[in-house]
Every structure is written in structure tokens, then in C-alpha cells.
Amino acid sequence: MCGIAGILSLRTGNPDLKNWLQNMTNILRHRGPDDEGFTFFTNDEIECTGGKDTPANVYESRYPFSPQLITHNSQPTTALGHRRLSILDTSAAGHQPMCDVSKRYWIVFNGEIYNYKEVKAELLFLGHIFFSHSDTEVIIQAYIAWGKDCVLKFNGMWSFAIYDATEKSFFCSRDRFGVKPFYYFISPEYFAFASELKALVSLPFIDKKLNEKAVFDYLVIGQTELESEGFFKNILELEPSYNLFLKDGKVIKQKYYTLPYNSKNETFSEKKKNEYVGQVSFLIYEAVKLRLRSDVPVGACLSGGIDSSALVCTANNLRNGTDPFHVFTSVFPGSSVDESFWAKKVVEATGAKWHTIETKPSQIFEDYESLIYAQDIPFFGSSTLSQSNVMKLVHDTGIKVTLDGQGADELFSGYGQHFYVKGLNDLQNFNFKELLNLDSSGASSTREFTRFLLKKSLNLWPERLEFKLLKESKYDLQLLNQKFTKNNQNRFHLEKAFLTSNLNQHLYNEYSGPPLKYLMRTADRNSMRYSVESRVPFADDHKLAEYMFSIPSAYKIHQGTSKYLLRESMKGVIPDAIRLRKDKKGFVTPELKWFKEYKNELKGLVTENLEPFVDTKLLYKNWDQIFEQKITGNTLGISRFVILSMWRRKFGL
């Protein structure tokens, strides 16, 4: 797990590329404090250098082109930079930028290819020679062997750039489901890329400008990065499942993977259920087994729910080690959202070493500013802060790698709205027996299902009327600037893509779209902020995902039970008290209570920089009224105003 950066001057060499690149990698240091490396290309000359975090043994390494202590006053046209968090092959042989023996192909890579041993065995059979035990070298040799199709061989998470020093071209790729980030900028003069936005906006040739469309998506639709251009204008995101090719100053993007899904209606069969359960159990076992491959200790984040419990118990069964398995939990003593009672059951069942941390409301004022910088873009609520604190605890304990349960809700069907999607399908197919199970689902049942049907009906209405009705139902939207909402109300079509009565299609929209990608982006910034690698078996194992999406919807929710196949596959693996509970709240904090308690302090965090989007005078005037209403949900609309205002100040926008 690392930080990558690169700059290509498309017209002439530029001596400033060296300083610019070093500044970018310094900004990314938290992603890889174990090593740093730079490679500069000037015509036919190649210059490799290190920095203050480059270990001495890297300079002594003979693989196959080690950095030099002396730098030359060249004017490079291309610059590659890397910050390394050493996980696989922690020796000097894993240093990056890495090249093949011919010195034609150079790679900077962020992520992990979990099946690198299997791919390496295939390459060895083809006659390829290796100098290290790293997965990075497997990628570069796989590219030499199979070209762009090499990514189809990989099971893992990745973003990387391979530079062809002969063709003066780039091949870049991002993993199937967007676990690892890749952002880039292109103009007639420069091409640049980096793992995080803050590194790119540090470049002097990039003019920082705010994208109003992204602000609307955040405040109104409740989504981020719906399109390749996000909060910063002219900085683009390479989407999941895409490769990027750059040659002669032109960028070409190509989608290399599409997750197939079964959209057919099928009646539940006990015989097929047993077959599905057996295979799901096997695939979870294999996914966790691959993600325990590491040359440094691996721990796990543990809530009180089935997702993280499944990973902790499976990993514990696989490890067979004498050292205890370290697990980490966010707790809120005395609060209704505290999950420590349930997490303790898993700890007792596994004998794991348990670490807990409490996030307090005062941290909103103490830590939000630094968290906003770490996250790069506005986030949703204090659960992000809580997750960040867990990762700090992981780092302070000396663990470098964690297993995390994100993606299970989208994969196995665990959110409340999934009941309503299935309920609509049951209604359309006159399956009243299953429809009656809504009331035993623990998903707020009938009332919420009615709201879902009303929202679905809005799909047929004009956007202007749709927004008017939405404003009447959500007080915070009544505070938005009228010109701002009028200019962007046509963006509601982006939300409508998620409205469907087919459960597998709905899950596909979440798993392959912005909802899961947002969770992955948030988790990446929170973990890498503290130099921790977060591995997500439910979100990036394509074999498990493809099998789950091949199973008809009837088996995802059955008899009012969510995550039916996951629960059944975990029989005898996790405590039944966890496996059968239906009141799991997700990763939440007592935010509603906190915000009401600190409403006056929060008011001081909101400034007039919101004026283009929010009627700040009305907001200040009605501040107390906002907190007097009956507000439900974990994240208040007002939270977005606070975070957006702080984010604009932090990034000077």
C-alpha cells in the first residue's frame, strides 16, 4: 500500500519537475513512510534518486537499477514518484519506481495483488525472471507478457502507472471496484496523476476551481464523485474497472471489466439454497485466506455485526498461530449505538486481543479540520471521524494491515432500502406471502416501504416538481440558494438511476457505482492517514462478487431476513447471537445527540463562504429552529453545511 505520483511535460523538459514531484510525494508521505523513490527521464537518460526516507540498503541493492545518491541538473520530461508502505517483500528489492531488466518499463503501484503467487507461477512457466518476492514485479512482468489484459489476471486492489521509456507512453489502471484511488490532470502542456487530490492541487500549473455540480450532488442528492470530474474542476478520477492510455498527449480510457448480475425472478428452492450456501462459505474462506498474505502482522476492525464478525472468525480459524489476533472496535459507552456488548461475544469466541477507542463530541471541533484535509473532499458525518480514530488505534498498536467488512451490505443485501426494493418486486409479482415478511424484518417496515413507493413514483415526475416536493420534506434543503438549485436541478437524473424494483440490479448499482466507491474512498483516506493498509474481502474479491451476483434475488432476502446467504454460510463460524441479530445499526455515532448539545459551537464553524449555495442569513436566523425540529437519521443535513464550509476554508476555494 503506497502513494504514487507522476508528471509528464508534453512539450519540453522542465527542471522544476523534480521539485514539483518531490513536493507531491512529501504530501503523500503518510501513505508510505517506509521508503521513497524518484525516477526522472530526460531524452534517453534515466536518473534514479532517493530522499530522506529512502533506506540505506536501497542504494546498495543491485536490483536491477538502484537509485543514486547524486542527482544531476537535468531537465526531465517525465517524473515518477513513490512512497512505500512495506507489506510484501519488505526488503530493498521492493523499492519503487521499479523497472524490468531492460529498463524500458517502469512502474509506480499502490495496492495489493493478493493472488500474486499464482500469477507469478504462471509467468515463471512462461520463462520470466524475477529479482524480488513482491507483487509489484509480478504486475510489470504480467504487463510484458499479456499487455493491457494483465489486469484480468489480478485478484486484489490496485492503482498503478507503467511508463514505457521507449514509446514515451503510459498505461494506467484502477481496480474493478474502486478500492484504490487514481486522479489525473491533462492539458496541452502537462499530464499528471496522484493517489490523492491534495497532491495534484499542489502543482503550480493546476488552477484550483470549485465544481458547483459536485456541491449540488453532495448537499442535495447525498452522493460524491458521481462523475469523473469531482469537487475540483479539471481534475479527473479514473473510474473503477478502467484502464487509461496516454500517448502523444492524448488520453484514452477503456473499460476492461463489467460485473455481470442475474436479473431473473426465481422462486426460492431449499435445494439450491444449500448449494449456494456451501459455495459462498468456500469463497469467503478463500477470499480471507488470500488477504492474510502479508510479511507484516494483520489485524481486523470489529463491530458488533455479522460482516466484521465473519472476517474475524474466519481469519482466526485460518491463522492457527500462537500470537493473538488483534481486533479494533469503536465504542460509545452508555449510548444506544454502542456495539461493544456484541463485539465482546466475538472476542470471547476467538480469544482475540481486543482494542477499543471512544470518539467524543469535542473531537468534531478538535479534529474535523485535519480530517477534512485527510479526506480531500467533503464527507458525511462523524462516523468518518470514528473510523479514522480506529485506524489511529491500529497504527498506535503497531499493526500495519487490517481486514475490514465494508462492501458486505451491498454484496449480501443488508440495508433497509433493500427490503423495500424486494417488497416492490414482490408487490409487482403478487408475492404477498413474502411481502408480509416486511413487518418482521427490522427495517422500519410498512411506513418506510410506503415512503419508498412514493419516492419511486417521483421518478415519473418533472425534476422541478420533484425537487419542490423534496424540499418540503427536508428542512435543510429549504435553506439552499434558489439560483444554485435551479441551475442544477436537472442532476436528479443521476439519483434516479438507483431506483429499480429488481434487487440484484439495485445491489449492482450500489456495488459498481458511487455508494461503494464512497465507502472505499473514505476507508482509504482514513487508513492511509495513519499508514495502515485496509483490506476489504467483501469489496474487491471479484470471484466472490461474481458468484453472489449470479444468485437470484430470492436468496438475498428470505422470510424477512437480510443477508440470508451470509448468515447461513456462517453457521458454526460466528456466535449465533451475532449471526441471527436483526438490529444492527451500521457504523454510526451518537451524532444527533452531539449536534444538539454543541449547536452553538457548530454555528461558529459555518461561514459566509457557503453563500453561493446556502442562504446563510436564513441559516443563522433559523439555527435554533433547525435543532428544535424532530430530526431523524445519523447524519443531519446541517452536518453537510458545516463540513462544506470547513472544507472550502481548508483548501482555499
Residue 365: φ, ψ to 5°: -90, -30
Instruction: Count up the domains in the chain and report the number.
Output: 2
pLDDT of residue 634: 38
Q: Is the previous residue joined to 575 through a cis bond, with omega within 30 degrees of 0?
A: no
Residue appearing with cell numbers 478520477: 237
Question: Does some domain include residue 453?
Answer: no
For the chain, how far is it from start to end, CA to CA, in angstroms?
30
Determine the Cα–Cα distance for residues 234 and 210; give it in Å rounded to an integer. Answer: 9
Rounded Cα–Cα distance for residues 478 and 626 (Å):
11
**Residue 475, domain member (yes or no):** no
User: What pLDDT, in 10s, does the model give residues 359-370?
Assistant: 988 888 889 999
- Evaluate whether 316 touches 308 at the Cβ level (below 8 Å): no
**Known catalytic residue at 2:** yes
Residues 53 and 120 in one domain: yes
* Ramachandran category for residue 474: left, alpha or beta (phi over 0 → left; psi -120 to 50 → alpha): beta
Cell numbers describing residue 394: 491500529
Is 470 a member of any domain?
Answer: no
Region of 401 please: left (phi>0), alpha (psi -120 to 50) or beta. Answer: beta
CA distance 387 to 338: 14
Domain boundary among 231, 255, 279: 255
**Which cell goes with 547?**
458468484
Run of H or E including 3: strand 2-9
Are 214 and 251 members of one domain?
yes
Whether residue 541 sits in one domain with residue 509: yes
Enclosing H/E stretch for 123: helix 116-125
Residues 194 and 245 in one domain: yes
pLDDT of 374: 97
- Same domain for 77 and 127? yes
- β-strands 236-237, 183-186 pairing: antiparallel
Pair 339, 205 in one domain:
no
β-bridge pairing 236-237 and 190-194: unpaired
Provide the Cα torsion 225, 521, 174, 254; round to 10°: -10
Q: Take residue 291 and report the three cell numbers written for it.
A: 488477504
Same domain, 229 and 304: no
The boundaries of the domain holding residue 362 are 270-412+503-579
Domain CATH number, residue 31: 3.60.20.10
Question: Is residue 426 assigned to a domain?
Answer: no
Q: What is the pLDDT of residue 492?
A: 75
Q: What is the pTM of this model?
A: 0.93
E-state strands within 272-427: 298-301, 326-331, 353-358, 401-403
600 is a domain residue: no
- Rounded distance between C-alpha atoms, residue 161 and residue 173, angstroms: 7
DSSP assigned state of 581: -
Q: Answer whether 557's CB lies under 8 Å from 550's CB.
A: no
CB 185 within 8 A of CB 192: yes
Instruction: Give the Cα separation of 255 and 242 in Å (integer).
Output: 4
Same domain as 523, residue 374: yes
Instruction: Tell whether 245 and 293 lie within a shared domain.
Output: no
In a domain, 513, yes or no: yes
Both 240 and 368 in one domain: the answer is no
If asked whether residues 521 and 380 sit together in one domain, one would say yes
Those residues of the chain that have pLDDT short of 50 are: 442-443, 632-635
Decide which of 579, 606, 622 is a domain's last residue: 579
Euclidean distance between CA atoms 39 and 558, whole angstroms? 56
Q: Residue 207 has which C-alpha cell?
A: 488552477
Range list of β-strands (E), 359-410: 401-403
CB 498 within 8 A of CB 506: yes
Based on the domain organization, do 297 and 242 belong to the same domain? no
CB 481 within 8 A of CB 612: yes
pLDDT for the residue numbered 98: 95
Of 187, 222, 255, the last residue of a domain is 255
Residue 282, in any domain of the structure = yes
Where in 360-498 does DSSP place strands (E)?
401-403
- Determine, yes or no, domain membership for 111: yes
Strand ranges (E), 118-241: 156-164, 169-174, 183-186, 190-194, 236-237
Task: Tell me which residue of 474, 459, 468, 492 sits closest to 216, measured CA to CA.
Answer: 492
How many other CB atoms are there within 10 angstroms of residue 628's CB atom? 11
Of the residues 2, 48, 99, 301, only one is catalytic, namely 2
